[in-house]
Structure 1
Amino acid sequence: MSIRRKITSMFTSLTAAITILLSVLVYFFTKQYVESNFFHRMEVRAGVAGRAKFEANDSSLLFYNEMREKHLQRLPDEKEFVFNALPSLGSLDSIGVPSGAAFRSKLSQNKKVQFRKGDVYYYAILYEHQNKPYSIVLSASDEEGAAILFELKRNLIVGVLVAIAVVYIMSLMISKEVADPIRHIIQNVRKITASNLHLRLISKNSRGETAALTQTFNDMLDRLETSFETQNNFLNKAAHELRTPLTAIIGEAELALEKPRGSEDYTRALKIIAREAEQLEHLTSSLLELAQAGYSSKEAFMTDLRIDELLFSVKRLIDFTEPGNHVQMNMEGLPEAEYKLVVSGNTNLLKLAFANIIQNACKYSEMRQVDVSIHTDDTHCIITVNDHGIGIPENELKYIFDPFFRASNTSSYKGYGVGLPLAQKIIRLHRGILEFSSKVNEGTEVRVSLPFVEISN
């Protein structure tokens, strides 16, 4: 069911239920009032009838009858019955009173009784005259009250139907106002494909939920467009980086095979081919690691490990690959609670991430001192890597995690631009945060925050 139909049906159903309930209550209380008022009129006429029957002499009887006819409206089908003491069951049955025994019991206890049988109302009182009890029973039909209730019922039914119709029409109009912006968004979203991701949704309202929904879609389209552009750039740059060593290898091989050459020429060609093949292997391995780092945490084997021990392991690896490094491990900020050094992670992936970060610090600081320190806060273990190298231009910091991106001041340094994107993916895989701050010719600070494993009490 569409939103428009849901809104219309909900409004109409709710209004119908409320209107019908109110109409039933109005009819019920009006009926109660009409019956109560009619019984009150019968009570007055019964009292007048008793006085006229027992307390008036001939002259006053004429006066009572005259007053009753002039000022007390005679009730439709009014009948008066006077009985000595309590009326017998036979007498009650003869005048149409049902349940005579119950009638006599209530009249005896309460001195008066009232009830209704169909359209006929009965009212009876016990009247004492000269210490003798008499029963005065009055019966009548409330034609006026019945007409009022019939008219009220008809008006209420018509009113309910009119109210439902009006609310239904208004609900259609309101639901159209609510659904049209959403329908407009849906139509525009369906027009956007991979070939025209530059298109954006336009909101007719500057505020409200539809404006927020439009902005959310536009933000998502921004991310999708950026992702597509990044993917295309990645593929183009990857193809270029892979083609360069392959071209050199093929060129040297073809040159060596053009004509017979001396052993020195063949040796030189093979060295070039070996060097380019090594670069190709390194680049391919880096791309493979970058792709593997995109796996979910469920696919990567996680275990509890101490971050300080892992960093010392990385230091030993760098000492082996970069013998001239000046990496200093600063452990002064280690927490007293050792559990704050324990993180959940994949040892090999974290080693790869920190090795890339520290090797970059060594490379771009030209083997000057690099400081690695550890400290913690309430929830995270924070590893900081500081170097005193060439730094990164401020306007290029936002691109450092793009695959194959290299800062404008790094052209004289060997590299492919995949180390930091790889490190960022690995840190994100471990629910961590990788942050950079840098100044040109002053150095770079890298902060890695990893949540430590909390020990349950």
Structure 2
Amino acid sequence: MLIRHKLLLWFTLLVLGLQLGFSAFVYYFAAITRAQRFELRLTNSATLAGRLLLPLLKGEAGNRGRLRRDDLLTLPREEISIYGPDGLLRYSSADHIDEATNRARLAGLGAGQQLRYPARGVQEIIGLAYPRGATTGYYRIFVAAEDRAGRAQQRRLGLLLVLANVGGLLLTVAAGWFFAGVVLRPVARISRQAGRISAASLGQRLSEGNGRDELAQLARVFNLMLAGLEQAFEAQKTFLAHASHELRTPLTGLVGTLETGLAYDATLPEARQSMAQSLEAARRLSALTNGLLNLAKVDGALPAFGPVRLDECLHQALRLVRASYPGREWRLAFYNLPTDTEADPFMLPGSAELLTTALLNLLDNAGKHSDGPVRTELGYADAHTLRLRIIDEGPGLTPAELARIYEPLYRAANALSRPGYGLGLPLTQRIIQRHGGRLELTSAPGQGTTATVWLPATPVPV
């Protein structure tokens, strides 16, 4: 269902519910008021009958002949029955009155009481115990009548409320349709603008309207997403360009060496030399391809994490770099470790293989560029965060180089003469991020480089 239709439906149901509730209240209040008003009229009729008829009903038989039954009937279909203190019928305005029911009610109508009884068809009934002197006792007067005017007025009110609700419903639907269109007009505008944006026009941005309401916030978030997509597309283009260049170089060397050897190598030594050059180019191509595959793999689905000891990953990475740089001095220090617990302080959830790869890349970069010892420090930044720092004494990096250091296949000027393809740091950064951590490099020309890694720790009892 369209949002416009949902808004219209909800708005209509809400207003209709309010209308029906208000109409029911008005109708119910009017019905109660009519019933109370007519009950008062019945009471007045009973009182009037008592005042006028009881003096004539003192048991004088001659007085009854002078009464006409319809003398006091002022209400539609009015019926009056009067019973004496002895329970005998003294007066009846009509012969068809259900006196059996009235007699059954005599016992329940106490002295001085006035009771309202269930209606008989359209007739409403009250009973009144009317006093007639201290010695005479109470007379029971029953009056029944039809409230034609009141019920007609109530029917007209009901019809008026029905018509008002139908008209209000139609107006509500029209108003809801109009206001839903007004409210959703900016959404339609954003939809049209977004529909014109494609991969070739990611530089376009959505209008943020007044800049204050929720739709402006939505447009702002969408613009931020577009900016991120534009940046990602640009990074992808740069990555593809660098990858093509890096792959083309060893491929060109490999093909050229093989073609030269096939055309000109006439002796075994010459052929062996061409094969050796081709093998070196193939190894470079294989290393570059593996690096690109690892970078793509870490962006995909990772295996389920388990408990990993970061110090063991660090020791394994140090063992590998010591073998690669036998003349380099590697220093390791631990600091700020918790002393009030028996849990393993270096435990965290993750992948031991990936974390070892990340630490090995950082140590390899430090050993590759440092002219002096490489210091490694492992400890706690706070109660729940492990911090690893790798400090070298290399040539350092400029601010411009630091800004691009995480771009795949980017290499700083001082690294062009050294082995590598510019994939280690991007791969390391993504591994650290996938483990909920953060990698930061600080450097200055001539002052070396410091790589700092923060990772969430989960100490467990040993």
TM class by shorter chain equals 0.7 to 0.9
Of 312, 324, 327, the residue aligned with 1:324 is 327
Of 280, 287, 290, the residue aligned with 1:285 is 290
The letter of the residue matching 2:19 is T
Q: Report the alpha carbon displacement of residue 408 of structure 1 after superposing the two structures with TM.
A: 4.3
TM-score (norm 2): 0.85
| Mapped pair 1:114 → 2:119 | no
In 1, the alpha carbon distance for the partners of 2:80 and 2:297 equals: 105
| Mapped pair 1:47 → 2:47 | yes
Cα shift readout 1:143-166 (whole Å, capped 9, x = no counterpart): 331232122212222222222222
Contact preservation (8 Å) 1:113, 1:124: yes
Q: Report the alpha carbon displacement of residue 283 of structure 1 after superposing the two structures with TM.
A: 1.8
In 1, the alpha carbon distance for the partners of 2:235 and 2:151 equals: 83
Of 141, 147, 152, the residue aligned with 1:147 is 152
Cα shift readout 1:20-75 (whole Å, capped 9, x = no counterpart): 1221122112111111112112222322332233459xxxxxxxxxxxx9xx9943
In 2, the alpha carbon distance for the partners of 1:259 and 1:31 equals: 116
CA distance change for structure 1 residues 46 and 316 in 2, over 3 Å: closer, same or farther?
same
Q: Report the alpha carbon displacement of residue 389 of structure 1 after superposing the two structures with TM.
A: 2.2
Q: Report the alpha carbon displacement of residue 295 of structure 1 after superposing the two structures with TM.
A: 3.6
Q: Report the alpha carbon displacement of residue 357 of structure 1 after superposing the two structures with TM.
A: 0.6
1:375 aligned residue: 379
In 1, the alpha carbon distance for the partners of 2:90 and 2:431 equals: 101
1:87-166 matches, within 5 Å, as 87=88, 94-96=96-98, 99-108=101-110, 111-115=113-117, 116-130=119-133, 131-132=135-136, 133-166=138-171
Q: Describe the SS at the equivalent of 1:39.
A: helix
Q: Describe the SS at the equivalent of 2:407.
A: coil
Contact preservation (8 Å) 2:112, 2:130: no
Question: Where in structure 1 are there 5+ consecutive unaligned residues?
Answer: 57-68
Aligned residues: 442
CA distance change for structure 1 residues 42 and 324 in 2, over 3 Å: closer, same or farther?
same
In 2, the alpha carbon distance for the partners of 1:96 and 1:395 equals: 109
1:276-425 matches, within 5 Å, as 276-297=281-302, 299=303, 302-336=305-339, 337=341, 338-365=343-370, 367-376=371-380, 377-425=382-430
1:63 aligned residue: none
Contact preservation (8 Å) 1:89, 1:101: no
Q: Describe the SS at the equivalent of 1:147.
A: helix
Contact preservation (8 Å) 1:289, 1:422: yes
Cα shift readout 1:186-230 (whole Å, capped 9, x = no counterpart): 333334333333333223341222222222222222222322332
| Mapped pair 1:16 → 2:16 | yes
In 2, the alpha carbon distance for the partners of 1:127 and 1:330 equals: 109
In 2, the alpha carbon distance for the partners of 1:456 and 1:147 equals: 86
Of 215, 229, 252, the residue aligned with 1:210 is 215
CA distance change for structure 1 residues 93 and 104 in 2, over 3 Å: closer, same or farther?
farther
Contact preservation (8 Å) 1:368, 1:388: yes
TM-score (norm 1): 0.85
| Mapped pair 1:37 → 2:37 | yes
| Mapped pair 1:181 → 2:183 | no
CA distance change for structure 1 residues 151 and 455 in 2, over 3 Å: closer, same or farther?
same
Q: Report the alpha carbon displacement of residue 263 of structure 1 after superposing the two structures with TM.
A: 7.1
Contact preservation (8 Å) 1:123, 1:138: yes
Question: What is the RMSD computed on CA atoms of the aligned residues?
Answer: 3.2
Q: Describe the SS at the equivalent of 2:460.
A: coil
| Mapped pair 1:432 → 2:437 | yes
In 1, the alpha carbon distance for the partners of 2:123 and 2:335 equals: 103
Contact preservation (8 Å) 2:265, 2:271: no
Contact preservation (8 Å) 1:335, 1:375: no
Q: Report the alpha carbon displacement of residue 378 of structure 1 after superposing the two structures with TM.
A: 1.9
Q: Describe the SS at the equivalent of 1:20.
A: helix
In 1, the alpha carbon distance for the partners of 2:88 and 2:229 equals: 96
2:61 aligned residue: none
Contact preservation (8 Å) 1:385, 1:447: yes
In 1, the alpha carbon distance for the partners of 2:279 and 2:78 equals: 126
Q: Report the alpha carbon displacement of residue 4 of structure 1 after superposing the two structures with TM.
A: 0.9
Contact preservation (8 Å) 1:12, 1:168: yes
2:67 aligned residue: none
Contact preservation (8 Å) 1:106, 1:113: no
Q: Report the alpha carbon displacement of residue 269 of structure 1 after superposing the two structures with TM.
A: 4.4
The letter of the residue matching 2:228 is R
Q: Describe the SS at the equivalent of 1:199.
A: coil
Q: Describe the SS at the equivalent of 1:389.
A: coil
* Stretch of structure 1 that moved more, 82-91 or 307-316: 82-91
1:59 aligned residue: none
In 2, the alpha carbon distance for the partners of 1:81 and 1:259 equals: 140
In 2, the alpha carbon distance for the partners of 1:73 and 1:109 equals: 25
Q: Report the alpha carbon displacement of residue 323 of structure 1 after superposing the two structures with TM.
A: 1.4
In 2, the alpha carbon distance for the partners of 1:191 and 1:98 equals: 88
Contact preservation (8 Å) 1:87, 1:104: no
Cα shift readout 1:223-278 (whole Å, capped 9, x = no counterpart): 22322332232222112111112222332333344445677765654554344333
Contact preservation (8 Å) 1:38, 1:142: yes
In 2, the alpha carbon distance for the partners of 1:406 and 1:101 equals: 113
